[in-house]
Amino acid sequence: MKPFFNNRSAAVGLVVLVIVVVAAALAGVLAPHDPWQTVGRPLSPPGEAFLLGSDGLGRDILSGILHGARVSLMIGIAAAIVSVCIGVAVGLVAGYFGGRVDDVVMSLTEIIQTIPSFVLMVVLVAIFQPSITSIIVAIAVVSWPPLARLVRGEVMSLRTREFIEAARLSGLGDVPIMLREILPNCASHIIVMGSLMVANAILLESALSFLGLSDPNVITWGYMIGSSRALLHFAWWTCVFPGAAIFITVLAINLVGEGINDAFNPKLARQRA
């Protein structure tokens, strides 16, 4: 992990991300009010009755951001995990078996990639009704193809190596070979891609929430921006602070992802330097 911490931007990103995670975990302690409760005068500027001001219904924006962090991080991590599971499984099968299996699997992947991802997400969420589960599933459905292609390429380069042939000669079956021999050698690429998927999932969830396609029972950063967009011209804080939370969190995750990538690929990091 030394190369990671030698990367200043990655270290800063990790610190910021830890702060966000801790704030989300302690939202019930740090948040002074219920994020849905009207607790003061509508559109109070920052620093008067509330640290970050209030929205058009008199709800505390700071409380909304802290509680919204829980939902955004949970959806981002859950969607990334589901995406990684699907992408790794598809990539392993396509790359290892090749031939017709590869043709069929990658044709399905290409079909999904030809459909505009955001449009497909909106359709899926609308069909299954807006909820946390449907949002996670929709994000996962549009996010796995790039990882599947990456894993497929790595598996195709590994399946002819000597240690794989030795595993076959020792009597190992296809599934044990894929899980014990090939998958660990793809782990670095999967970890890097998975970390970036979390950031992408947070952005996608925020976009859906902005359009009103979120669970009506939970508060999210995207919902806060969407519900206050008409107030932006005369109550900027209602949109700017939730937007800043999205920007800072996504940037921190991307910095951490790049740091992990540099740690696993030191030659590439030296070339960029």
Q: What number of other Cβ atoms are within 10 A of residue 225's Cβ?
A: 22
Q: How far apart are CA 93 and CA 108, in angstroms?
A: 13
For residues 105-126, give the mean pLDDT: 89
For residues 172-188, give the mean pLDDT: 87
Cβ contact 76:199 at 8 Å: yes
Per-residue pLDDT tens digits for 227-251: 888 888 889 999 999 999 999 999 9
Full domain range(s) for residue 106: 2-272
Q: What number of other Cβ atoms are within 10 A of residue 240's Cβ?
A: 17
Q: How far apart are CA 219 and CA 67, in angstroms?
A: 7
Angle at CA 76, nearest 5°, toward 118 and 149? 65
Per-residue pLDDT tens digits for 58-77: 999 999 999 999 998 999 99
User: pLDDT confidence of 130, banded at 50, 70, 90?
Assistant: confident
Q: What is the pTM of this model?
A: 0.89
Q: pLDDT at position 82, please?
A: 95
Per-residue pLDDT tens digits for 81-106: 999 999 999 999 999 998 899 999 99
Q: How high is the mean pLDDT of the chain?
A: 88
CATH number at 102 reads: 1.10.3720.10
Residue type, 117: S
Which candidate, 159, 163, 54, 141, places its Cα nearest to that of 101?
Answer: 159
What is the total count of domains within the chain?
Answer: 1
What percentage of residues in the chain have a pLDDT greater than 70? 96
Residues facing 46 on adjacent strands:
50
Q: pLDDT at position 160, please?
A: 82
Distances (CA, A) of 259 to 73, 88, 195, 209: 20, 22, 11, 30
Residue 222 has pLDDT above 60, yes or no: yes
Residue 79 has pLDDT above 50, yes or no: yes
